[in-house]
């Protein structure tokens, strides 16, 4: 009797597990479809019904990296010319009949995204670690109010800050500069980072620091040699969260940058090729842009809940 019961339970278990796997797959279909689109040959993309199995090509990735023109009808390249083309030129010509003119805007935009994100994360983490340590270890008058003030800045709808920031930046000639976006993203991540890091530092026993101070360490030495190394996991997790936020930010970048400091999110949705909207290239660009955040998410697994609740839930 017991054995039968057990088997029934385990069959139920297996069914639920299969169900979970199926749901996960279905849930990720939109993303899989984009990866799939980014590998579709030019003449397959617009097929109806949509093809799932086809010979994949990396031509969309070449297209998102390059600027191209269409060969005029009376000036198609000859066989000999095609033979002399580099592989990516040949591939692009065969796919969409286009000629590669130069490297496109993607590398520049990607670099902008990287510079702005990394610089703002570094600045955020340095400032926030100091501030979090201060809030964690010192007696401060009105500490709770200050902490709440810091949190509340994050809750503001960006749109309401956007108008005055736009005017300020115009006045200070910060529109379309890297430094402008770096400062903005730092300010927006700071509140989050201070809260989460304070939680991590609160968990470090204060006795080590007291012992070190008795041994003649200064506050800075204590901070650098004892607190920072022990808080490193927390600092890394916080940095990853800040990275993801800054990397993904759209509204500010969209309004405050035009070309020089434009980041990928502000640029990618508006890419019209000479042949109309190039869906394959847009999909390829999306995939390339999403990858860094996806990789970082995997590192975050254990601290995800803590991060999304501003450190309120420590699991």
Residues 283 and 58 sit within 8 Å (Cβ to Cβ): no
Question: Which of 301, 137, 156, 264 has the alpha carbon at shortest distance from 204?
Answer: 137
Write the interaction track for another protein spanning residues 186-205; mark x where CB under 8 A is met and - where it is not: xxx-xx--x-----------
CB of 242 to another protein, least distance (A): 13
> d(Cα 157, Cα 153) in Å, to the nearest integer?
9
User: Between 37 and 66, whose beta carbon lies closer to another protein?
Assistant: 37
For another protein, the binding residue among 61, 65, 93, 133 (CB under 8 A) is 133
> d(Cα 231, Cα 227) in Å, to the nearest integer?
6
Give the CA count within 13 Å in the CB-facing half-sphere of 203.
Answer: 14
For another protein, the binding residue among 70, 103, 140, 236 (CB under 8 A) is 140
CB of 168 to another protein, least distance (A): 7
Write the interaction track for another protein spanning residues 218-257; mark x where CB under 8 A is met and - where it is not: xxx-----------------------x--xxxxx--xx--
Local structure of 106: helix, strand or coil: helix
φ/ψ region of 173 (left if φ > 0, alpha if ψ in -120 to 50, else beta) reads left
Residues 190 and 100 sit within 8 Å (Cβ to Cβ): no
CB of 247 to another protein, least distance (A): 7
For another protein, the binding residue among 11, 17, 58, 101 (CB under 8 A) is 17
User: Between 85 and 202, whose beta carbon lies closer to another protein?
Assistant: 202
Which residues have a Cβ under 8 Å from the Cβ of 184 and sit 6 or more positions away? Answer: 120, 165, 252, 256
Positions in 149-178 near another protein (CB under 8 A)? 149-150, 153, 155-168, 170
Under the binding rule (CB under 8 A), the answer on residue 127 touching another protein is yes
Under the binding rule (CB under 8 A), the answer on residue 303 touching another protein is no
Under the binding rule (CB under 8 A), the answer on residue 9 touching another protein is no
Positions in 252-271 near another protein (CB under 8 A)? 254-255, 265, 268-269
> d(Cα 313, Cα 293) in Å, to the nearest integer?
23
CB of 85 to another protein, least distance (A): 29
């Amino acid at each position: 009797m017991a054995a039968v019961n057990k088997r029934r339970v385990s069959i139920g278990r297996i069914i639920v597990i299969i169900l979970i796997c199926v749901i996960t797959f279905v849930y990720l279909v939109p993303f899989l479809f984009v990866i799939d689109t980014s590998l579709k040959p030019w003449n397959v993309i617009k097929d109806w019904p949509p093809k799932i199995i086809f010979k994949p090509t990396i031509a969309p990735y070449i297209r998102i990296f390059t600027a191209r023109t269409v060969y005029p009808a009376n000036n198609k390249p000859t066989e000999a010319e095609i033979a002399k083309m580099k592989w990516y030129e040949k591939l692009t010509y065969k796919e969409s009949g286009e000629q590669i003119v130069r490297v496109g805007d993607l590398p520049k935009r990607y670099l902008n995204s990287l510079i702005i994100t990394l610089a703002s994360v570094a600045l955020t983490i340095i400032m926030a670690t100091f501030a979090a340590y201060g809030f964690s270890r010192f007696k401060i008058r009105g500490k709770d109010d200050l902490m709440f003030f810091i949190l509340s800045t994050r809750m503001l709808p960006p749109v309401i800050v956007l108008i005055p920031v736009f005017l300020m930046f115009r006045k200070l000639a910060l529109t379309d500069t890297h430094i402008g976006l770096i400062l903005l993203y730092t300010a927006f991540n700071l509140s989050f980072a201070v809260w989460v890091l304070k939680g991590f530092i609160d968990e470090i026993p204060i006795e080590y620091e007291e012992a070190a101070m008795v041994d003649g360490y200064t506050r800075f030495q204590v901070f650098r040699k004892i607190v920072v190394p022990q808080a490193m996991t927390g600092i890394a997790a916080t940095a990853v969260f800040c990275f993801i936020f800054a990397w993904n930010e759209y509204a500010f970048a969209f309004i405050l940058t035009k070309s020089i400091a434009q980041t990928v999110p502000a640029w990618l949705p508006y890419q019209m090729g000479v042949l109309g909207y190039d869906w394959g290239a847009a999909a390829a660009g999306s995939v390339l842009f999403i990858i860094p955040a996806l990789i970082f998410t995997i590192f975050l697994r254990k601290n995800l809940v803590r991060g999304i609740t501003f450190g309120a839930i420590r699991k």
